[in-house]
Amino acid sequence: MRWALAAAAFSLFPLIGSCSPAEWVEVRPEDGGFSIQMPATPVETTQPVKTTSGPIALRMYVLEHGDFIYMVSFSDYAEETLAVRTLEQLLDGARDGAAASIRGEILDDAAISLSNHPGRYVVLRDPTGELTLQIRLLLVGRRLYQFGVVTPRGDRSSAAVTRFLDSFALL
């Protein structure tokens, strides 16, 4: 169920606690334009995704580690999409797509930015109420970055979650 939640959350837009610093690895795809730290090496996949903006290729890095699932993905919008949709509409669509894909409830939705690029911090709860997805969405030019963690309901503020989310950097 947790793997399905993770895959579903990232397919439409389209560990617990303590790892020593030496155990974490940097994920830095050659053409990704970002880096992020994970507690181990993730699995990389690429899949086509149908969106309301048209088909996109979604590149994902997923790691199931203990009770958590760490995910980072990126995809590029077509120039035509950027010409007819506002940044807010694109971010709303990514948020709504994530929620719909897991049939989840939006618990939190806040505007964020990184290096003056617009984004969102979204918290979703799965239909069972047992799992929470914390996700950050960041729009950089025509690229949408999504990075988040699926956790058991009570683990939203663990040090591992904070370390992962805060480690994302644009290159």
Confidence grade of residue 22 (pLDDT, cut at 50, 70, 90):
low
Sheet harboring 34-38: ordered strands across? 25-27, 34-38, 169-170
Among residues 120, 50, 52, 122, the alpha carbon closest in space to that of 84 is found at 52
Q: In which residue are the tokens 């990704």 written?
A: 32
Q: In which residue are the tokens 């890095």 written?
A: 61
Span 40-57, average pLDDT: 85
In a domain, 49, yes or no: yes
In a domain, 21, yes or no: no
CA 38-59-5 angle, 5° bins: 70
- Residue 107 in this model has a pLDDT that exceeds 70: yes
Task: Give the pLDDT confidence score for residue 40 in this predicted structure.
Answer: 96
Span 38-60, average pLDDT: 87
Separation of CA 132 from chain center: 13
Among residues 71, 52, 96, 68, the alpha carbon closest in space to that of 153 is found at 68
Token pair for 46: 């690429």
The domain that holds 50 is classified in CATH as 3.40.1000.10
- Residue 149 in this model has a pLDDT that exceeds 50: yes
Q: Range of 122's domain?
A: 2-16+27-170
Query: What is the Cα–Cα distance from 169 to 115, expressed in whole angstroms?
Result: 9
In a domain, 22, yes or no: no
Token pair for 95: 């948020």
**Can you name the residues that pair with 146 across neighbouring β-strands?**
73, 137
Domain count, the chain: 1
User: For 24-151, where are the alpha helices, taking DSSP H only?
Assistant: 79-84, 87-101
Look over the chain and give the mean of its residue pLDDT values, rounded to a whole number: 86
Percentage of the chain modeled with pLDDT above 90: 67
Q: In which residue are the tokens 């999409």 written?
A: 81
In a domain, 40, yes or no: yes
In a domain, 140, yes or no: yes
Counting DSSP H helices and E strands in the chain, the numbers are 4, 10
In a domain, 43, yes or no: yes
Lowest-pLDDT range of 47-51, 53-57, 92-96: 53-57
In a domain, 54, yes or no: yes
Confidence grade of residue 15 (pLDDT, cut at 50, 70, 90):
very low
